[in-house]
């Protein structure tokens, strides 16, 4: 589909087309399209930009990843379709492993996601086939199957765009979980140690830049950045921000001069037509 750059929602349509394309290749499942739509709705409420709160979470996440001994970035279909190049860049910057972990697991999907990650420059990909033979307790979906060289032994796991069960299980196993989720009400957002309430597409490049910036800081300074963050307080602020935006819009009304002008013109024409028929 050709997307005209002057379309007011060009970027949003481009991203949607990308995810639909990967649905065709098998990397993304149909439920992934539903998840994307849910994300888009929350992004509207956020104003489609990275907020100060999200930035604080990103900084804490970057420090946590740099301090980790065995960090792993978990990749599912949506993440591979939307941000695979940044996944590889981030892994190289902070020294993380990359592991494929799917809710709707199939060999065909694993192959499609492996292909995307390889094309994006990934050298080592964990969690494929028999390599994912360890189990996370208390998770009943395919997500329970993990790689013993990766998520099983990780101290820090980044789960961009996830469902709640595994986040809860990983936290109960004593791991630090970093989530990127536009929905501050999701179970993932609430269970994670650090939740970046932002679009994964905007958050990933900032996370990489932030990690590069603080990479050479002393561990003591990184620890300060990592631990001064409060997830539940930050989620509250994200909800507050959405509420504030909606209240403001509700009070002011939605006013777009061009739209108002056209409606005024149409109204006048309708009334003059009614007068003519009398």
What is the contact surface with ligand PTJ in residues (CB under 6 A)?
29, 31-32, 35-36, 38-39, 42, 76-78, 82, 102-104, 161-163, 180-183, 186, 199-201
CB of 170 to ligand PTJ, least distance (A): 14
Spatial distance between the Cα atoms of 67 and 246, rounded to a whole number of angstroms: 38
Query: In the bound complex, which residue of the shown chain has the CB atom lying closest to ligand PTJ?
Result: 39
H or E element that contains 196: strand 194-196
**In this complex, which beta carbon is closest to ligand PTJ, that of residue 168 or of residue 181?**
181
CB of 187: closest distance to ligand PTJ in angstroms?
8
- Enter the tokens of residue 138: 């208390």
Structure tokens at 203: 């958050």
Cβ at position 4, least distance to ligand PTJ in Å: 23
Q: How far is the CB of 181 from ligand PTJ (least distance, A)?
A: 5
Q: Which CB, 219 or 236, lies closer to ligand PTJ?
A: 236
Other beta carbons less than 10 A from residue 66's beta carbon:
22
Q: Are 211 and 94 in contact (CB under 8 A)?
A: yes
Residue 15 CB, shortest distance to ligand PTJ, in Å, is 8
Side-chain-side CA neighbours of 17 within 13 Å: the count stands at 10
Q: Which is nearer to ligand PTJ, 35 or 67 (CB)?
A: 35
What is the C-alpha separation between 239 and 221, in angstroms, rounded?
Answer: 29
Q: Which is nearer to ligand PTJ, 67 or 87 (CB)?
A: 87
Shorter beta-carbon distance to ligand PTJ: residue 32 or 222:
32
Q: How far is the CB of 173 from ligand PTJ (least distance, A)?
A: 19
In whole angstroms, what is the distance from residue 128 CA to residue 57 CA? 30
Q: Could you tell me if 176 and 155 are in contact, meaning their C-beta atoms sit under 8 angstroms apart?
A: yes
Cβ at position 38, least distance to ligand PTJ in Å:
4
User: For 156, phi and psi rounded to 5 degrees?
Assistant: -130, 130
For residues 271 and 183, what is the distance between their CA atoms, to the nearest angstrom? 45
Which pairing describes strands 134-135 and 145-146: parallel, antiparallel, or unpaired?
A: antiparallel
Select 42 or 229, whichever has its Cβ closest to ligand PTJ: 42
CA pair distance 187, 198, nearest whole angstrom: 16
Q: With contact defined as beta carbons under 8 Å apart, do 84 and 116 qualify?
A: yes
CB closer to ligand PTJ out of 44 and 227: 44
């Amino acid at each position: 589909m050709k997307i005209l750059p002057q379309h007011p929602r060009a970027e949003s349509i481009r991203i949607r087309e990308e995810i639909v394309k990967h649905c065709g290749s098998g990397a993304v499942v149909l439920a992934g399209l539903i998840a994307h739509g849910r994300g888009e709705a929350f992004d509207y409420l956020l104003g489609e930009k990275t907020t100060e709160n999200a930035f604080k979470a990103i900084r804490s996440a970057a420090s946590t990843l740099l301090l980790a001994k065995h960090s792993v970035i978990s990749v599912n279909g949506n993440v591979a379709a939307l941000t695979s190049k940044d996944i590889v860049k981030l892994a190289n910057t902070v020294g993380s492993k990359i592991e494929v972990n799917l809710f709707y697991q199939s060999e065909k999907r694993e192959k499609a996601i492996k292909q995307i990650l390889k094309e994006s420059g990934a050298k080592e990909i964990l969690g494929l086939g028999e390599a994912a033979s360890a189990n996370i307790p208390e998770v009943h979906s395919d997500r329970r199957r993990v790689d013993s060289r990766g998520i099983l032994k990780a101290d820090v796991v980044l789960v961009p765009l996830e469902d709640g069960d595994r986040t809860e299980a990983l936290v109960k196993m004593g791991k630090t979980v970093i989530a990127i989720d536009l929905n501050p009400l999701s179970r993932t957002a609430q269970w994670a140690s650090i939740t970046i309430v932002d679009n994964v597409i905007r958050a990933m490049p900032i996370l990489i830049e932030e990690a590069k910036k603080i990479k050479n800081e002393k561990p003591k300074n990184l620890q300060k950045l990592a631990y001064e963050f409060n997830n539940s307080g930050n989620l509250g602020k994200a909800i507050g921000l959405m509420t504030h935006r909606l209240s403001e819009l509700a009070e002011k009304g939605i006013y777009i001069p061009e739209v108002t002008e056209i409606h005024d013109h149409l109204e006048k024409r309708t009334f003059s037509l009614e007068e003519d028929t009398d």
